[in-house]
Amino acid sequence: MGDEPADALAALWPRSLADLAVVGACAFFGFTVPIALFDSTVLFTYHPTCMSLGFGLLMTLGVGAGLKLRALGPGAERVRALWVHAATQTLALFLALGGFVAIYRNKAIHDKPHFTTTHGKLGLLTIVLTVLSPTIGAVAFKRLGLLDAVPEQARPLVKAVHRRLGLVTWCAGALATSLALPHPAVDQGSLTSAWQVSVFVMCAGVAFWHFTEPKGARGDGFARLDKDSQS
CA distance 29 to 9: 24
* The binder of ligand HEM chosen from 10, 21, 43, 124 (CB under 6 A): 124
Smallest gap from residue 162 Cβ to ligand HEM (A): 5
Measured from the CB atom, the residue of 14 and 74 that comes closer to ligand HEM is 74
Pairwise CA distance, residues 54 & 180, whole Å:
15
Give the count of beta carbons closer than 10 Å to the beta carbon of residue 155: 18
Residues 137-166 that bind ligand HEM (CB under 6 A): 137-138, 140-141, 159, 162-163, 166
CB atoms near residue 22 (< 10 Å): 24
Q: Which range in 1-9, 13-21, 117-125 contacts ligand HEM by CB under 6 A?
A: 117-125
Binding-site size, ligand HEM (CB under 6 A): 54
C-alpha 56/C-alpha 206 separation (Å) is 12
Query: Does residue 5 belong to the site contacting ligand HEM (CB under 6 A)?
Result: no
CA distance 93 to 106: 20
Cα–Cα distance for residue pair 127/94, rounded to 1 Å: 11
Question: For residues 109 and 111, what is the distance between their CA atoms, to the nearest angstrom?
Answer: 5
Of 10 and 124, the one with the shorter C-beta distance to ligand HEM is 124
Q: Per-residue contact track with ligand HEM, 187 to 226, x per CB under 6 A?
A: ----------------------------------------
**Judged by CB under 6 A, does residue 177 bind ligand HEM?**
yes
Q: Assess 51 for contact with ligand HEM (CB under 6 A).
A: yes
Q: What whole-number distance in Å separates Cα of residue 77 and Cα of residue 188?
A: 43
d(CA 57, CA 176): 15
- Residue 78: which H helix or E strand, with range? helix 76-109
Nearer to ligand HEM, 77 or 228 (CB): 228
Residue 111 identity:
D
Q: Which amino acid is at 93?
A: L
- Binding stretches for ligand HEM (CB under 6 A): 33, 47-48, 51-52, 55, 59, 63, 66-67, 70, 82, 85-86, 89-90, 92-93, 100, 103-104, 107, 114-115, 117, 119-120, 123-124, 126-127, 130, 133-134, 137-138, 140-141, 159, 162-163, 166-167, 169-170, 173, 176-177, 180-181, 183, 185-186, 228
